[in-house]
Structure 1
Amino acid sequence: MKTDDLPRIQARGVTKIFAGVPALDNVDLTLHAGEVVGLLGENGAGKSTLIKVLAGVYIPEHAEITVRGDVVRFAQPIDALARGIATVHQHSSLANNLTVAQNLILGREPGLSWLPFWIRQKAILAKARAITERFGIDLPLTTLVDDLSVAQKQRVEIVRAAAEADTLIILDEPTAALNPHEVDELFELIATLKATGIPVLYVSHRLDEIPRICDRVEVLRDGKNVGGLNKEDSVPAKIIPLLVGRQLGNLFPDLPTVTEQVVFRAENVAGKLLRGVSMEIHAGEIVGLTGAIGAGQRDFARIVFGADPGTGRVELLGKVLPHGRPDLAVKAGVGYVSGDRKKDGLFPILPVWRNATVVKSEDLSTAGFILPARERKVGIELIKQFDVRTSSANKEIGDLSGGNQQKALLARWAAVTPKLLILDEPTLGVDVGARREIYDQIVALANTGMAVILVSADHAELQGMSHRVMVFTDGEVVAEMAGKDATEEAVLHARIRTDNAKAAS
Structure 2
Amino acid sequence: MSAPLVCLEGVRKEFGAVVAVERLTLELDAGEIVALVGDNGAGKSTVVNCLAGVHAPTSGRILLEGEPVRFSGPLDARSHGIEVVPQDLALADAQPVYMNVFLGRERVTGPLRRLDRGAMAAAATALLDELDVRIDSVRAPVHTLSGGQRQGVAIARAMLWAQRLVLMDEPTAALGVTETRRVEELILRLRERGKAILLVSHSLDQVLRLADRICVLRRGRQVGVLAREETSGDEIVAMITGLR
- TM superposition score normalised by structure 1: 0.46
Q: Distance in 1 between matches of 2:111 and 2:97?
A: 23
Alignment correspondent of 2:124 = 128
- Provide Cα deviations, 1:220-239, integer angstroms capped at 9, x if missing partner: 11211101111123422110
Partner Cα separation in structure 2 for residue 29 and residue 227 of structure 1: 10
Cα distance change on mapping 1:135 and 1:179 into 2, 3 Å: closer
1:67 has 2:64 as partner = yes
Within a 5 Å distance, the mapping from 1:83-482 to structure 2 comes to 83-112=80-109, 120-132=116-128, 135=131, 137-139=133-135, 140-246=137-243
Larger Rg: 1
CA–CA distance in 2 between the matches of 1:115 and 1:58? Answer: 37
Once residues 42 and 124 of structure 1 are traced to their aligned partners in structure 2, the CA distance between those partners, rounded to angstroms, is 41
Contact kept? 2:134, 2:149, Cα under 8 Å = no
Per the TM alignment, residue 6 of structure 1 is displaced from its structure 2 partner at its CA by: 2.6
Structure 1 spans left out of the alignment, 5+ residues? 248-505
Q: Which residue number in structure 2 is paired with residue 281 of structure 1?
A: none
Q: What is aligned with 2:5?
A: 8
Structure 2 residue aligned with 1:36, among 27, 33, 37? 33
Amino acid at match of 2:163: D
Return the alpha-carbon distance in structure 1 between the equivalents of residues 195 and 243 of structure 2: 35
Tell me if structure 2 keeps the 8 A contact 1:208–1:235.
Answer: no
Q: CA contact under 8 A between 2:165 and 2:196: conserved in structure 1?
A: yes
> Given residue 122 of structure 2, which amino acid in structure 1 is its aligned partner?
A
- Cα offset, 1:137, TM superposition: 4.7
Task: Write the deviation string for residues 199-223 of structure 1: whole angstroms up to 9, x where unpaired.
Answer: 1111111112111111110001121
Residue segments in structure 2 that go unaligned for 5+ positions in a row:
none
Q: Is the 8 A contact 1:217 1:234 kept in 2?
A: no
**Whole-angstrom CA distance in 2 between matches of 1:122 and 1:96:** 20
Partners of 1:234 and 1:97 in 2: CA distance: 44
Overall identity of the aligned pairs, in %: 40
Change beyond 3 A, Cα 1:116–1:46: closer
Distance 2:174 2:198 in 1: 19
C-alpha displacement of 1:116:
11
Equivalent pairs counted in the alignment come to: 243
Label 1:227 to 1:172 Cα distance change in 2 as closer, same or farther (>3 A). same
When residues 177 and 113 of structure 1 are mapped into structure 2, their CA distance, relative to the original with a 3 A threshold, is farther
Q: What is the letter of the counterpart of residue 132 of structure 1?
A: L
Shift of 1:112: 2.1
